[in-house]
Amino acid sequence: MTITLCNGKGGSGKTTLSVLLGAALVEAGHQVALLDTDPQNTATRWIEEMQRSPDGAALQLAKEGGEYGALFIDTAPRLETVEVRDAIRRADVVVLVTSPSPADLFTSRDTAQLIHNEGAKDRSFVLFNQVQPGTILARDLEDLAQRIGLPAFKNTLRRRQAYQHAVLLGWKSLGNEAREELFKVALEIVGSVKQQSSKERKTQHAASAR
């Protein structure tokens, strides 16, 4: 399955989450690779650095023609590029990563519009990142997702310093709570792809029965 993370807004957490959700799926037994389509090459450099750490990194960089159980595509914060459009079009699930701040709403809406234009609206979800429980901003996530124009994943990710360290130190540097949170989101993403394929199978079945 191909999972594209995007948002025209820089710094929303696309690269951090591509790497950490990828690592979570590796832990869950999937064969995972990351395709870095951002010319800044941040994900590439983080993974290379992780691979040098004593624990190594099971998450690999995607190779030309390689086949993987799950392929994460990290994208640049530039909606007008052909690479971002391609990454959206080829995805089984598109994850629009955003903070819960209303200040990010406009760029997230532009991103949702692009997703719509590329015909991927039915397989796209908002993932709220850097959520701080107990704050006013954390209360209205459903409303915010509605304004963005896409359904939101039920699970969200907190703002945690541990995530900042983990992109270089690897999965093993994370505590249980952080791991659990990443597993939940990663499995919800996988579940959304499975749900969609079963819907498609039912539609095909109904069509062939007619």
Ligand X SMILES: Nc1ncnc2c1ncn2[C@@H]1O[C@H](COP(=O)(O)OP(=O)(O)OP(=O)(O)O)[C@@H](O)[C@H]1O
Residues of the shown chain interacting with Mg ion in the complex, contacts defined by CB under 5 A: 14-15
Q: Nearest residue to Mg ion, using CB?
A: 15
C-beta of 92: minimal distance to ligand X in Å? 21
What is the spatial distance between Cα 49 and Cα 45, in angstroms, rounded to a whole number?
A: 6
Contact flag: residue 13 with ligand X (CB under 6 A): yes
Contact mark string toward ligand X, 41..70, x via CB under 6 A: -x----------------------------
Q: Give 33's contacts (C-beta < 8 A, 6+ positions apart).
A: 22, 59, 60, 61, 62, 63, 66, 68, 70, 71, 72
Cα-flanking dihedrals φ and ψ of residue 95, to 5°?
A: -110, 110
Choose the contact partner of 109 out of ligand X, Mg ion, none; CB within 5 to 8 A by kind.
none
- DSSP percent split of the chain into helix, strand, coil, nearest 5: 50, 15, 35
Structural contact between residues 60 and 70, judged by C-beta atoms closer than 8 angstroms: no
Nearest to 38, CA basis, from 58, 59, 57, 12: 12
Contact flag: residue 108 with ligand X (CB under 6 A): no
Contact flag: residue 10 with ligand X (CB under 6 A): yes
Alpha helices in 5-104 (DSSP H): 14-27, 42-52, 82-89
Choose the contact partner of 160 out of ligand X, Mg ion, none; CB within 5 to 8 A by kind.
ligand X
Residue placing its CB nearer to Mg ion in the complex, 138 or 168: 168
Residues 68-97 contacting ligand X, CB under 6 A: 77
- Given candidates 4, 15, 37, 192, which one binds ligand X under the rule CB under 6 A? 15
Contact flag: residue 179 with ligand X (CB under 6 A): no
Residue placing its CB nearer to ligand X in the complex, 11 or 102: 11
Chain centroid, CA 205 distance in Å: 30
Residue placing its CB nearer to ligand X in the complex, 42 or 192: 42
- Given candidates 4, 107, 108, 129, which one binds ligand X under the rule CB under 6 A? 129
Which 8-state DSSP code applies to residue 131?
A: B
Structural contact between residues 145 and 120, judged by C-beta atoms closer than 8 angstroms: no
Contact flag: residue 11 with ligand X (CB under 6 A): yes
Residues at the interface with ligand X (CB under 6 A): 10-16, 38, 42, 77, 129-130, 157, 159-160, 163-164
